[in-house]
Amino acid sequence: MKAIWHSMDVSLEQLNEMGEGTMAETLGMEFTEIGPDYLKIMMPVDKRTVQPYGLLHGGASAALAETVGSVGSALIIDPTKSICVGMEINANHIRGVKGGYIHALAKPLHVGAASHVWDIRIMDDQHRLICVSRLTVAILAKR
């Protein structure tokens, strides 16, 4: 399979360094795998990411989904010509989680000149589906 990325000259270490000082670092997100047409990230379910009932906060799932999809788009575009920004996200929360980690897999459904649409599946440590998200990213000309 042909890689979709603008450049394969990126490491997990570099992706994780990009998150320093951002929400990704605050919530403990960590990129774990780059494939030819997908990206994986994980996040702990702990005091930073739960709601008052002790369950994973839906907003934390959405933040994880937006992070992995947005970074995926940033890896596809030519950064000398374009920027990418989230335009719309939805998330269907399927199962509650009280601990461990959640793992998101992002794959593009559409890669166009003006937008990208991502399918993001979030699973728990037992590989059970926790959340399904779709993210639309706008591709804008760099000024």
66 is catalytic: yes
Give me the residue spans of the domains in the chain: 12-141
Name the active-site residue from 13, 33, 66, 88: 66
| Average pLDDT of span 19-29 | 97
pLDDT level of residue 107 (50, 70, 90 thresholds): very high
Please return the burial class of 111, using the count of CB atoms within 10 Å of its CB with bins 0-12, 13-18 and 19+.
middle
pTM of the model: 0.96
Q: Give the per-residue pLDDT at 75.
A: 96
Contact in structure between 139 and 78 (CB atoms under 8 Å): no
Classify strands 101-111 and 115-124 as parallel, antiparallel or unpaired: antiparallel
C-alpha distances out from residue 5 to 22, 39, 71, 111, 117, Å: 23, 10, 11, 11, 15
Does the pLDDT value for residue 1 go beyond 80?
A: no
Nearest to 38 by CA among 100, 97, 141, 119: 119
pLDDT by residue (tens digit) across 53-81? 999 999 999 999 999 999 999 999 999 99
Q: Give the per-residue pLDDT at 8.
A: 74
Does the pLDDT value for residue 3 go beyond 90?
A: no
12-141 maps to CATH 3.10.129.10: yes
Q: Give the per-residue pLDDT at 101.
A: 98
